[in-house]
Amino acid sequence: MARLACLLLAFSPAVLSAAIVAHHAVEVPVWDDLERATLLQKWADGSLDWRYVYSPHIEHRMGVPRLITLLSASLGDGSLLTEQVVIFGIVVATALLVHVLLRQTFPGRSATVYGLSFLANVLLFSPLQWETFLFSIQTTFVMPPFALCLILAVLGSRLGHAAKFALCFVAALLASNSFSHGLALWGLVFAAVVLQRGFGPTRVRVVFLAAWLAVTTAVLVPHFTVDGYANTSDFSYVEKGERAPGLALSSLPARVPRALDFFGAILGSPFARNTVLDPRAVAPYTALGLLALFGLGVAHALWRRRDARLWDRQLPWLAMGGYAVVTCAAVAIGRSAVNKWSYGLVPHYLTVSTYLLLASVVLFGLLVEDVGTRARRPRLRAALPRAAALGAGALLAFQALQWGIGVVGMREWRSARLQSRTAMLYINHFEPEYVRRLGETLEAPYKLVNRLDQTGYLEPALLPDTRLCHFAIDETPLDENDASLQMARFSQSTLAVRGYARLPEDGRRADGVLLTGLDETGQRIVVASLEMSGVPFVAIPEADHRLNAVVLPGLETFAPFRGRVPAQRLALLDTREIQAWAVDSQRMRVRPLPQHVAIIDTAAGPRAELRFGPGEMRSRDGLPQPGCGPGQARRHSWTWTGERAPDLAAQPAEPVPSPARRTHG
């Protein structure tokens, strides 16, 4: 019972993180997520073959994540949320393996094991890794660390050598067929078996290593040669059909400083965010600190290498830290060729650098334990554990701040995804303004969003026309404290507007603003879909600036929108009033802003005037419109055999409440 309570306490960060992730997860594809459109279409067409499944996405052979996507589509409804659950599940499995490793490292020391497990889980489940937890493609990213921990736990276990070989092989295969980071595991297993003192008789070790070399060759040779290692992804640094960029070693001599800065950025990222200083200024120093801490652990291990038992306890963590350093170095070398050095601070790289921090902490704990038992000076014996406790307290307090920053990061991610959902709904009618929420350029997202929609896996489906009635319309205007149309002006026949909009129920910025008017049939049609780009929310206390006369940021800073309506769009309208609507793309609902724009024709040209109150919002005849209304059913669904269900697009589009339609909170 006590053990169960300790385990629950140690894993309480996982429970908290699950709640936070669940709250912020949304089913909106972003960037590489859109690649599934091609995969699902090939599967539907029957043209999917092992070549495509095995083909590189940039330079990553992602067979395993692709299979997960297909499994999700065949057994379920192919929701992106399913893969986000899988990601979290893999991290939970990784955390359990870390717990097993800790038990192997500190046998009989329950308090140490549970304490370090708690600390490890605070790091592993930190919301600071929002780009991992909320980005469905990252089933790729979390697999190598899982495989790493599985390999280390297996090698430290009492399993037979054949079982160890098999499990290590499966783990390395899973990892290297998920993401390129997994390639390092083939070398890691080899090194671990060479260095592990208690592996077994020399003969067994030699056989194991020989067999491992053989399978490594059998796996890695095809990895780099099949189909010319050519990229097949639309989201890549190279074109489709071009060889994967890899480490770009040929250009490395010219960019060594940038590569080093990039390396420092990745390593320093876990400690760089602090709400006051620019992380780019902090990261190089925290990187040095972390490397120094790991170096201390390595130096201690080398100093005490003759103690076989201690060595075998340190080895998994040396391997973990080494894996993180090597992987971060490889990323820095390869990606500094295409990105600036501060790209190393992107949150998803924390999923790698966190393991260096974790390994360093455990190695330091082993150092404290070892020196503490051997030191002759009583003061040193007493001081070391206290130093460790001081460090643990500082680390946990700092992580509390990181969790807060992570929650804010999740909130911004979610807001951006919901805004891009609004933009995607109208992708065939209005060009998205902030294309980089979907991809590098519009070309690939436009193609793939439509492909995903055609296969029936885009939720909600793309809107067939620009009628507003595809959203549920709540006619109650928003309060001026939440939303306002602040400026409307004509500039050479183009109407420019500006304002701000927040959804009061959720306290978040709106997921976009739609401008509508009535067409000749009396229907409200959308003439512009405006996206919002606000400053991420920060709380600035007014009390700190009473005598400074500063401008405190408000909704104009956090939730602004601006846009233009060209003359040809305005020409579609039959009325001279434009209404603005704040979009809630999660509930598929719109609410009007408190002002509307009246277009007044003058001799000098049209003039825009802001007027308080709703404009001519109601449809003239007031009747429900055919093929309109919220909650369009998914148009296609797929069975396990790949048969396509009847194409609903060919049928009269009536709002059909379907049990197949997934609703999201």
Partner 1 sequence: MARAILWLLAFSPAAAGALLVAQHGVNVPVAGDWDRAGLVNGGLDPSPLGERIAIPRLVALANLRWFGNDLTLEMGLAYVLVLATAFCVYGLLRRTLAREDGTLYGTAFLCNLLLFLPMQWENFLWAERAWFLFPSAAVCASLLALGSRWLVWQKFAACALLATAASLTAPHGLSLWVLVFASGALGGAFGSGRARLGFLAVWAALTAAALTAHGLGVARPVDLSAAPALEQPLEVLRFSATLLGSPFSRTTLVPPGQLAPLFGLLGMALFVAGAAYGGRRWCDAAFRDRRLPWLLLGGYALGLSVLAALGPDAGERGRPLLPRYTSISLFLWLASLPLSVLAVLDLRTRVPASRRGLRALLEWGPAFAAGALLVSVGLGWLVGIQGMGEWRSARLQARTSLVFLERFAPGDLRRVDGRPGASLAELRRAVGILQGGGYLDLARADGEGLEPFALGAPLPAEAGNVERVRAREGRLDLTGFAWLPHANRRADGVLLTARDASGSRRVIALAELRPMPLPPIPEHDHIYNHARTPGVDETAAWRALVPSDRLPRAASVQLEAFAVDSDAMRLHPLAARVVVHPTAAGLSAELRRPENGGTR
Rg (CA), the chain: 28
Q: Please enumerate in sequence order all residues whose Cβ is within 8 A of that of 219, keeping only pairs 6 or more positions apart, or say none.
A: 172, 173, 176, 186
Q: How many CB atoms lie within 10 A of CB 114?
A: 21
CB of 276 to partner 1, least distance (A): 4
Q: Which of 82, 105, 415, 585 binds partner 1 (CB under 8 A)?
A: 415
- Residue 28 backbone phi and psi in degrees, to 5: -135, 120
When asked if residue 487 is in the footprint of partner 1 (CB under 8 A), the reply is no
Direct distance between the N- and C-terminal alpha carbons of the chain, in angstroms, rounded to an integer? 36
Stretch of residues binding partner 1 (CB under 8 A), selected from 118-126, 309-317, 482-490, 545-553: 545-553
CB of 539 to partner 1, least distance (A): 4
When asked if residue 557 is in the footprint of partner 1 (CB under 8 A), the reply is yes
When asked if residue 551 is in the footprint of partner 1 (CB under 8 A), the reply is yes
Chain center to CA of 212: 34
CB of 381 to partner 1, least distance (A): 12
User: 206 or 382: whose CB is closer to partner 1?
Assistant: 382
When asked if residue 507 is in the footprint of partner 1 (CB under 8 A), the reply is no
Q: Which of 156, 264, 534, 594 binds partner 1 (CB under 8 A)?
A: 534
CB of 48 to partner 1, least distance (A): 28
Of 82-121, which residues contact partner 1 (CB under 8 A)?
Answer: 111
Euclidean distance between CA atoms 297 and 285, whole angstroms: 19
Q: Which of 546, 603, 623, 650 binds partner 1 (CB under 8 A)?
A: 546
CB of 523 to partner 1, least distance (A): 31
CB of 417 to partner 1, least distance (A): 9
Length of the chain: 665
Q: Please enumerate in sequence order all residues whose Cβ is within 8 A of that of 109, keeping only pairs 6 or more positions apart, or say none.
A: none
> Token pair of 139, please?
């089933």
CB of 538 to partner 1, least distance (A): 4
Stretch of residues binding partner 1 (CB under 8 A), selected from 156-164, 181-189, 433-441, 590-598: 433-441
E strand or H helix at 416, and its extent?
helix 378-425
Q: How many CB atoms lie within 10 A of CB 536?
A: 12
Stretch of residues binding partner 1 (CB under 8 A), selected from 82-90, 246-254, 270-278, 577-585: 270-278
Q: Which of 372, 553, 606, 630 binds partner 1 (CB under 8 A)?
A: 553
Q: Are strands 589-602 and 472-473 parallel, antiparallel or unpaired?
A: parallel
When asked if residue 540 is in the footprint of partner 1 (CB under 8 A), the reply is yes
User: 20 or 53: whose CB is closer to partner 1?
Assistant: 20
For 558, how many CA atoms within 13 A lie in the half-sphere containing its CB? 20
Q: Please enumerate in sequence order all residues whose Cβ is within 8 A of that of 290, keeping only pairs 6 or more positions apart, or say none.
A: 267, 268, 270, 271, 353, 356, 357, 360
User: 144 or 344: whose CB is closer to partner 1?
Assistant: 344
When asked if residue 429 is in the footprint of partner 1 (CB under 8 A), the reply is no
> Token pair of 158, please?
């009492």
Q: Which of 46, 50, 542, 659 binds partner 1 (CB under 8 A)?
A: 542
When asked if residue 347 is in the footprint of partner 1 (CB under 8 A), the reply is yes
User: 393 or 504: whose CB is closer to partner 1?
Assistant: 393
CB of 592 to partner 1, least distance (A): 25
- The count of chain residues that interact with partner 1, using the rule CB under 8 A, is 69
Residue 586 contacts residue 601 (beta carbons within 8 Å): no
User: 8 or 390: whose CB is closer to partner 1?
Assistant: 390
Euclidean distance between CA atoms 330 and 279, whole angstroms: 22
When asked if residue 436 is in the footprint of partner 1 (CB under 8 A), the reply is yes
When asked if residue 367 is in the footprint of partner 1 (CB under 8 A), the reply is no
Binding pattern for the stretch 368-407 against partner 1, x by CB under 8 A and - elsewhere: ---------------x-xxxxxxxxxxxxxx--x--xx-x
Binding pattern for the stretch 16-55 against partner 1, x by CB under 8 A and - elsewhere: --------------xx------------------------
Of 115-134, which residues contact partner 1 (CB under 8 A)?
Answer: 131
Q: Please enumerate in sequence order all residues whose Cβ is within 8 A of that of 163, keeping only pairs 6 or more positions apart, or say none.
A: 154
Q: Which of 77, 307, 412, 474 binds partner 1 (CB under 8 A)?
A: 412
Q: Please enumerate in sequence order all residues whose Cβ is within 8 A of that of 366, keeping only pairs 6 or more positions apart, or say none.
A: 105, 297, 300, 310, 313, 314, 317
Look up tokens 């233009």; give the residue: 564
Stretch of residues binding partner 1 (CB under 8 A), selected from 15-23, 46-54, 342-350, 369-377: 342-350
How is 386-397 classified by DSSP, letter by letter?
A: HHHHHHHHHHHH
Stretch of residues binding partner 1 (CB under 8 A), selected from 145-153, 271-279, 312-320, 444-452: 271-279
**Would you give the DSSP letter of residue 128?**
G
Euclidean distance between CA atoms 147 and 156, whole angstroms: 14
Residue 345 contacts residue 273 (beta carbons within 8 Å): no
Show the CA angle centred on residue 602, arms to residues 596 and 607, nearest 5°.
30
Which residues of this protein are in contact with partner 1, per CB under 8 A? Answer: 30-31, 111, 131, 135, 273-280, 342-347, 383, 385-398, 401, 404-405, 407-409, 412-413, 415-416, 434, 436-437, 531, 533-536, 538-553, 557
